Structure 1
């Protein structure tokens, strides 16, 4: 089966060359949002519902979700529902997202926003800062240790929290080593239940990896979560955050779906 992750990151690098020619780092720093005070992604998850609700128009495996709600309706609905944070897809070729989506979302809500993208370059972290993100995603599967370290330090220097994403024990061990000197309040670790090479999901991945997490670090479960009972089960095991997008975006009213979901996770 085709390695979708490699296909996405190759396209990301190609697109980055074009974006860098159009807008320099100095241009990004001049955007008003670059100087805004960020909101703690970590604390919002720790102290709230733990639901990270995602704005996601499409996926490589499912195609378009054909959600009729506007971005404003979606993110405001998520905030009203009690989501701890919002995940905003900014990858356009494969997920239909844009940096404009991130900027718009920031203007609509007051809760933290994660820039959900395939970050492979320092430039993207400055984009995230400029367009209103409070946190960034770093995927262990598409970055080596040197890249992870460099990108992490840049994010922290720009007051952005980090969601490190892992898929197996080897990747978790790498992240534990890279982040061992970071303040635990500046990052979280997420287990993606979806194999990004085959796009199959299995919640058991989250269950198996939790015992290997570093102490005091918030554990997040991502992908394939569509049942509040699964959230309650993972909460009982020790998970504090849950990134959910497709389950909400495939409905006509993601905000209402999120509201119902959060209520059912606290029964």
Structure 2
């Protein structure tokens, strides 16, 4: 069993418990009653998606975050384009309560960062105010990807379609996904190889907004990703461990804009 398989198995167990407590019909009703999702602006300028991240499977505990809303506010003040909130509990110590707190604290789009494997989670995300959801190509079959991508759109949310290989990029292209991520972390063993980004970015659809994921330790990494074609960088660990979250977001954004590769016309 790979690390991804193990995480997804745990996600399904926890989901079954939530489903027992709250039926899908109730979650759908709450989703419909929620304020409309915020559209994610695919701005041509380079930007940062800043992540509220307490823990990771590869590094263990990262930061004590007593108030995710306060941290999200600092991210937004630093110019973050969106806030990513981990809601997986077993490996990342996240929760839907964190999502609620962040949603109440900021006006910019919020990403529910989780392993989305069931229809229930999409209605749940919308009920808790998410504007963006993550679709990991490696965790889903092609039929599920199409189903969930369409469901996210029907609910007014944007899907960030995460890829790790040329084949997965081709699958994302078939979805005509406007927001595609390239994760340089191997989800089988959690190793990171940032050099994998550039050759994969060359294969991405020209009309998509491309997100670099994993491997950012400082502004130089963001600049390297931007020079290779990234439009956005999703950054978590470097922000929660760096001290000054507002300043770090601004610095990373500036580094990306300085090195941003010109888009093909």
TM-score (norm 1): 0.90
Gap change, CA 1:147 and 1:212, over 3 Å in 2 = same
Q: Work out which of the residue numbers 209, 222, 227 in structure 2 matches 1:236.
A: 227
1:50, CA displacement in angstroms?
A: 1.4
- Tell me the CA shift for residue 49 of structure 1: 4.4
- Flag the 1:259–1:34 CA change in 2: closer, same or farther, 3 A: farther
How far off is 1:26 after superposition?
A: 2.6
Aligned twin of 1:19: 18
Runs of at least 5 residues in structure 1 that lack an aligned partner in the other structure: none
Q: Which moved more, 1:2-11 or 1:46-55?
A: 46-55
How far apart are 1:236 and its partner, in Å? 2.9
- For 2:195 and 2:228, locate their aligned partners in 1 and report how far apart those are by CA, in whole Å: 12
Per the TM alignment, residue 108 of structure 1 is displaced from its structure 2 partner at its CA by 0.1
1:112 to 93, 109, 112: 109
Q: CA RMSD in A?
A: 1.8
1:165 aligns to what SS in structure 2?
strand
Which residue of 153, 157, 180 corresponds with 1:189?
180
Residues 95-106 of structure 1 aligned to structure 2 (within 5 Å): 95-106=92-103
Contact 1:116 1:136 in 2 (8 A): yes
Correspondence for 2:194 among 174, 199, 203: 203
**Would you say 1:248 and 2:245 are equivalent positions?**
no
1:141 corresponds in structure 2 to 138
Structure 2 counterpart SS, 1:229: helix
The total of aligned residue pairs comes to 258
Query: Residue 57 and residue 79 in structure 1: after superposition, are their counterparts in 2 closer, same or farther (change >3 A)?
Result: same
Stretches of structure 2 lacking an aligned partner (at least 5 in a row): 259-265
> Retained in 2: the 8 A contact 1:219–1:239?
yes
Partners of 2:250 and 2:224 in 1: CA distance: 19
- Residue 221 of structure 1 aligns to a residue in which SS? strand
How far apart are residue 33 of structure 1 and its match? 7.7
The answer to whether the Cα contact below 8 Å between 1:112 and 1:133 also exists between their aligned partners in 2 is yes
Aligned to 1:124: 121
Match of 1:170 in 2: 167
* 1:97-147, Cα deviation, whole Å (9 max, x unpaired): 001111111000000011000000000000110001001000011101011
Check the 8 A contact 2:138/2:168 in 1, yes or no. yes
TM-score by length of 2: 0.91
Q: 2:157 aligns with which of 160, 174, 177?
A: 160
Tell me the SS of whatever aligns to 2:190. coil
- How many angstroms apart in 1 are the aligned matches of 2:230 and 2:253? 15
Cα distance in 2, alignment partners of residues 163 and 149 from structure 1 = 13
| CA displacement at 1:47 relative to structure 2 | 4.7
More helix by share: 1
